[in-house]
Amino acid sequence: MKKMIITCAVCGAETTREHNPNLPLTPLEIADATYDAYKAGASIVHLHVRDENGGPTQDPKVFKEAIRLIRERCDIVIEITTGGAVGMTDDERVAVIEELQPEMASLDCGTVNFGDDYIVNTLPTMRRFAKEMIKYNVRPTLECFDISHVAAADILIKEGLLKPPYHYGFVMNVPAAIPYDIELLNLLVSRIPEGAHWTVMGVGRACVPAHYGAFAIGNGFIRVGFEDNVYYSKGVLADSNAQLVERTAKLSRDAGYEIATPADVREMLQLKGI
């Protein structure tokens, strides 16, 4: 059977408890939410952490504590964010690579509108982050919020700053960035190297439609979680990240997929392991 890799982004940087009171914030809450998502079928956690006030932070000490607590519970693949949050410096965002040396990390592939804000990712920034990931054998997820970001990733590949197997993350439906529809998803997929893997991330109301887009094209990676969407259905808040994962796992099975394990992910993406 085909295998579906489910990533859970349990808290993100911009989601707050005003959006959903069930949002995990402390390292312990994040670890518990990750474990529950793992039991529901997630094999990767996309990890952001928060400070003592609930705001986004790239403090490696907070990441280390969350990772320690996650590892006490399960062997889920941990993908650290280097996207951070709006307004963070490159130094803040990239420090976690050297300090933590994770199996995976996100690598934003271009500047993007983020609603009324924007996140800056110049080509020199991308080169710097990619070099750090190669140095510490970290597998990047090439996060693309626009078709031009795929072209930017091509530059890094040509310069030898990315090594196969490549893994792209198509972030769709962020306000003022690329919207979700099946034609645009197909376009993104058509522009990446042959044999590359890709995850689709449907933000907000695009969450479930993006699942069906992945099934239609034949992909085996989907992301869910409170970073992307806090609702289970229109007007109904999700009880937990695990609830969203459970639905994705069910839909995947119904579409003919087996739910992948962390070991499957490590083999497929040639990760260095824990």
Using a pLDDT cut of 90, give the percent of the chain over it. Answer: 94
pLDDT digits (tens, 9 = 90+) for 54-110: 999 999 999 999 999 999 999 999 999 999 888 899 999 999 999 999 999 999 999
Per-position b or e across 15-42, b if 16+ CB within 10 A of its CB: beeeebebbbbbbebbbbbbbbbbebbb
Is pTM beyond 0.75? Reply is yes
Q: How far apart are CA 23 and CA 66, in angstroms?
A: 15
Question: How far, in Å, are 24, 175, 241 from residue 246 at the CA level?
Answer: 18, 26, 9
Superfamily, domain 2-268: Aldolase class I (3.20.20.70)
Q: How far apart are CA 249 and CA 13, in angstroms?
A: 25
Q: How far apart are CA 109 and CA 120, in angstroms?
A: 10
Please give the helix or strand (H or E) that residue 197 lies within, else none: strand 197-202
Mean pLDDT of the 230-234 span: 97
**Statement: residue 209 has pLDDT above 90:** yes
Token digits for 112? 């993007």
Which residue from 259, 240, 205, 248 is spatially nearest to 224, judged by alpha carbons? 248
pLDDT digits (tens, 9 = 90+) for 161-199: 999 999 999 999 999 999 999 999 999 999 999 999 999
For the chain, give every domain's residue range.
2-268
Answer for the pair 272, 137: CB distance below 8 angstroms, yes or no.
yes
Mean pLDDT of the 225-236 span: 97
Please give the helix or strand (H or E) that residue 248 lies within, else none: helix 241-254
Q: How far apart are CA 12 and CA 38, in angstroms?
A: 17
Q: Where are the alpha helices (DSSP H) in 74-173?
A: 90-100, 123-135, 147-158
Residue 1: band (very low, low, confident or very high) from pLDDT cuts 50, 70, 90? low
